[in-house]
A and B are shown apart, each in its own frame.
Chain A
Amino acid sequence: MESVSDKDAGVEDLLPLSAATFHILMALAEGDRHGYGIIQDVAASTDGSLKLSTGTLYRSIQRMLEQGLIVETRERPAPDQDDERRRYYRITPFGTAVARAEARRLTQLVRLARASGFAPGKA
């Protein structure tokens, strides 16, 4: 199947990222994860305010694979922790670049918000 891959697309073309995508990238930044691990990570880091449903997760993963933000990895953690059925995902350098660009964009946005008095802190 020829995919409608956007691997060649520039970093900027993918911005802004959806909340789910950004959180998945952030979860993977700490190391390879399987699907359920991502869900738990995201829930933990947002204090439970963002609960990814399985459908949303795997639709995002499918798209992110096509976009080249992540890859499925064949290296598994230690065998005793491994559940054979699970697929592990790893962030790619391109994914890292995109996540950084998104973070920059958001920082910029927050700076602007401060300047207009919408957010606390120094402008």
Chain B
Amino acid sequence: MALYRALLRLYPASFRAEYGDEMGAIFARRRRDATGMLQTLAVWGEALVDVAVNAGRAHGDILRQDLAFTARTLRRSPGFALTATAVAALGIGATTAAFSITDHVLFRPLPFVQPDRLVRLWQDQGGYGHTELSPANYRDWKRMSQSFEEMGAFGGQAFNLAGGGEPERVEGQWLTVEVFRVLGVRPVLGRTFGPDDGAPGAPATMVLSHGLWQSRFGGEASVLGRPVLVDGAPHVVIGVMPPSFHFPNRDAELWISKRFVDADFADRHDTYVYGVARLKNDVSLEQARAEMRLVAARLERAFPNENARTGATVDRLRDGLSPQARLLPLALLGAAACVLLIACTNLTNLLLVRAMVRRKELAVRTALGAGRERLVRQLLTESLLLAVAGGALGVLIAASAVPVLARLVPQSLPIAETPPVDFRILAFALVLTAATGIAFGVLPALRTVGQAGVSGMQEGSRGGVGGRRERARSVLVVAVVTTSVVLLVCCGLLLRALWRVQTVDPGFRADGVLTLRTALPLPRYEITARRAQFYARVLSDVRALPGVSDAAYVSGLPMVMRGGLWAAVIPGETHEPGAQPKAALRFATPGFFAALGIPLRSGRDLRDSDSREAPFVAVVSESFARRHWPGQDPIGHSFQFGLADRTVVGVVGDVRVRGLERASEPQVYLSHQQVADSSIIGYTPKDLAIRAAGDPRALLPSVRAIIHRADPQQPISDVRLLSDIVEGETAPRRIQVRVLAAFAAVALLLAAVGLHGLLSFAVSSRAQEIGVRIALGARSAHILSMVLREALQMAAVGLMLGLVLAYTAGRGMEALLAGVRPADAATLLAATGLSAFMTLAGSLLPAVRAMHVNPIEVMRSE
């Protein structure tokens, strides 16, 4: 019998209370009537089936009733319904959008086969951090290690595509044939690289991205087998990858096969190879790391000079993120969670007020016999219904916000820019919605039902004034203020960081400079003199254009080409192996410093007469001069750099080559003519910078025509203003600030609304007391201060808590702050000021209403 009683617990409590005894009696009687084991079993079986079927249906009956009832009551108060839905939608929408980014960047498995087995390999230069591999080390690591099923190498490169349409510059990658096997992704068309691709004598082959296939080849299957000119050499298209395939990042649009030749293995210093591998199924990441440490140690013993202090690092492909890139989505999610918390708190408040208004109705229903459980159910149904409406709207908000937030998705991962809004995200939104509905509904429901006793029906009763209930609502308002302060401070800190970065002097004047790229293809331009002819022709025509003051070519513009370091050997200096001082090498044409507005400190610019026949010269940056010839005039000193001895002829200002937020190595500029044919070919000048009066973009058609005249097959790419390049440095920061500012604004608004709601309610329920005070001669100022004091007390508590939490949050995101301290006084002051403003704005109306309470009226109404 006890077992049957337990089974009945599956029914709704109200149903059980009503019919449980009857059902128990009937069951008992049936068991009595049953004769024999078999019949008893049958009775039990029937009972089980009966409960299983009807308990669920009984819950459904109640839900249907509650929903119908809720829909009716909400229709009667559309203002409440709309406000609550909108608040819930904001909270759920913000959190869902933030989650879709965080999930995309940090958690979602990469779109490869068994992605958790994929690792990246790096050389570890003691003290210098991760670097690329030299081909020789790659070859030896592959040969000497046992941990990996397969290992491959790749490298980034931009290619000139010609044939069939305008010549075009496309980002691509060269891959060794193992790489596609490592990743385990199948093409949508054709095949990927097999063992014969890239073999000596075999035709060069390439694989297209889905995007390039669509845009340049019209998505035609006939593209397979077609030869396409890549950097002037024919490559046969053998396959097309699916749209979701990105490797190693979303820039790459084509992949060509590569095989190392003996010459590639000659120089272990020359590190430019990226390694990727798949762990064997029974090998853990730690085991692979341990093995690679041994392999690197053996190689260091074998090549004590080249491989001095060279270790091997193995990281998961998923983890290829800087700490900043990792922190950002988390900060975003944190901010969204704050908004959701505020939304829930406000909804709780709204429901409490509403329950207060409905307390007589609820008391009547209690008196009529509706059990506590039915009332709680009814109220929770209401909050869940509101949450579901808000959730649906919130998903729409999220879907439209995600493309904006997508700009926060870092470049360095093999994933698409825009995260998908798919089942996973919808499931998250659903769980979030349910949690939200329960979170903001449960407290009001329990409190209301707890108090909806007889007292509710007494005429003039004031449930909710003073005492416990008032305190609960004050706690809610304090929580909202606290959260909004945290958001405000975080937003302020990021804003300060943005300003700080924006005021960093890049070392050049970015205004009024048009830049574009003409990457000269090899082998056509491997002869230095042939390139010089091209530059001379383009530059002299460009300089003749109206408004142009300077124009020049350089290997790579600052903040575009960020690395490019070469070891500098200074006579008289000795360094340990692996600790050779390095500087950024750039070949330039004369006029580069004037075109970029880099100040010439002493000596002279590069000249046309600095040819291969003349003495080899160099212009160095101030930090280079300071580092190597402190206290001396650097002009006239010689050093070995870029495969030759060079003499310093000029000193220029330092430039932030690596971007505004990173320290840059010293720079050395060499004459574009002073390099052997086919030597240091990756540094061939390709970026054209034109300084002009007025809008330099107006020059573009003429510049295109000039380049076309100089070489009709030469594509032009990366047309940008130099100022846009510099601005691009702070773009992610600006988005961060904007998103956080939006969140903070919503939070402030909701906090003001919450405060307003609480005070309004307090004032109207204390109208009698206020009326008495006024009747007894209290002045308006006194009444005003009475109301405001309450508001300020709550705001002050919220502010204090908020500042403490904000400091903690600020410490957590220090990596994003560009040196701004988490306890930045200006930010804290501004946040305090804004909170004070918000408090006043929220309490103004209730305070004014309190002053205008009419004592006669309130006394009469009692």
Contact = CB atoms under 8 A, between A and B. Distances in A.
Contacts of B65: 3-4
A85 B22 contact: yes
A83 B28 CA distance: 14
Given A1-B374, A2-B69, A54 B57 contact: no
A54 B61 contact: no
Given A35-B22, A36-B29, A58-B23, A1 B53 contact: no
A1 B369 contact: yes
Contact of A59 (B54, B370, B374, B378): B54
Given A54-B26, A54-B50, A58-B19, A2 B365 contact: yes
Given A1-B370, A4-B65, A62-B61, A56 B54 contact: yes
Contacts of B50: 53-56
Nearest to B10: A55
B15 interface: yes
B21 A85 contact: yes
Nearest to B23: A54
Residue in B54, B369, B370, B374 whose Cβ sees the most chain A Cβ within 10 Å = B54
B54 A86 contact: no
Nearest to B368: A1
Interface string A32-67: 001110010000000000000111101101110000
Residue in A1, A35, A36 whose Cβ sees the most chain B Cβ within 10 Å = A1
Interface string B17-50: 0110111011101000000000000000011011
A14 to B, nearest CB: 16
Interface in A58-108: 58-59, 61-63, 83, 85-87
A99 to B, nearest CB: 22
A35 B29 CA distance: 12
B55 interface: yes
B68 interface: yes
B26 A59 contact: no
A32 B333 CA distance: 64
B15 A58 contact: yes
Residue in A54, A83, A87 whose Cβ sees the most chain B Cβ within 10 Å = A54
Given A4-B68, A85-B21, A55 B26 contact: no
Contacts of B69: 2, 4
Nearest to B60: A59
Interface residues of A, number: 21
A56 B22 CA distance: 13
A62 B18 contact: yes
Contacts of A87: 22
Interface in B341-380: 365, 368-370, 374-375, 378
B465 interface: no
Nearest to A36: B26
A39 B25 CA distance: 13
B58 interface: yes
Given A59-B57, A59-B61, A54 B18 contact: no
B51 interface: yes
Contacts of A56: 50, 53-54
B30 to A, nearest CB: 9
A1 B374 CA distance: 8
A35 B26 contact: yes
Residue in A39, A59, A83, A85 whose Cβ sees the most chain B Cβ within 10 Å = A59
Contact of B53 (A36, A55, A61): A55
Nearest to B67: A4
Contacts of A36: 25-26, 29
Contacts of A35: 19, 22-23, 26
Contact of A53 (B11, B18, B46): B46
Contacts of B51: 55
Given A1-B368, A2-B365, A55 B21 contact: no
B845 to A, nearest CB: 34
A61 B50 CA distance: 15
Contact of A62 (B19, B29, B47, B53): B19
A31 to B, nearest CB: 19
Nearest to B68: A4
Contacts of B374: 1
A54 B31 CA distance: 14
A65 B374 CA distance: 17
Interface string B53-79: 111011001000100110000000000
Contacts of A39: 26
Nearest to A65: B18
A86 B61 contact: no
A1 to B, nearest CB: 3
Nearest to A52: B50
Contacts of A53: 46, 49-50, 53-54
Nearest to A54: B23
B370 to A, nearest CB: 3
A91 to B, nearest CB: 18
A63 B71 CA distance: 20
A37 to B, nearest CB: 10
Given A1-B370, A2-B365, A36-B29, A55 B54 contact: yes
A54 B26 CA distance: 8
A16 B95 CA distance: 47
A46 to B, nearest CB: 17
B54 A85 contact: no
A76 to B, nearest CB: 15
A61 to B, nearest CB: 8
Residue in A39, A53, A56 whose Cβ sees the most chain B Cβ within 10 Å = A53
Nearest to A51: B46
A55 B55 contact: yes
Contacts of A58: 15, 18-19, 22-23
Contact of B25 (A4, A63, A86): A86
Contacts of A59: 15, 54, 57-58, 61
Contacts of B15: 58-59, 62
Given A53-B54, A56-B54, A62-B18, A1 B365 contact: yes
A4 B62 CA distance: 10
Contacts of A61: 19
B28 to A, nearest CB: 10
Contacts of B18: 58, 62
B366 to A, nearest CB: 9
Nearest to B29: A36
B103 to A, nearest CB: 42
Interface in B445-465: none
Nearest to A1: B370
Contacts of B47: 54
Nearest to B53: A55
A21 to B, nearest CB: 14
B573 to A, nearest CB: 91
Contacts of A86: 22, 25
Given A4-B65, A36-B25, A59-B54, 15 more contacts: A2-B365, A35-B22, A35-B23, A54-B27, A55-B11, A55-B50, A55-B53, A56-B50, A56-B54, A58-B15, A59-B15, A62-B19, A62-B58, A86-B22, A87-B22
Interface of A: 1-4, 34-36, 39, 53-56, 58-59, 61-63, 83, 85-87
27 contacts: A1-B368, A1-B374, A2-B365, A4-B68, A35-B19, A36-B29, A53-B46, A53-B49, A53-B50, A53-B53, A53-B54, A54-B22, A54-B23, A54-B50, A55-B11, A55-B23, A55-B50, A55-B51, A55-B53, A55-B57, A56-B53, A56-B54, A58-B15, A58-B18, A59-B15, A63-B61, A87-B22
Q: Which 3 A-B pairs have the closest CB atoms?
A: A55-B54, A1-B370, A53-B50
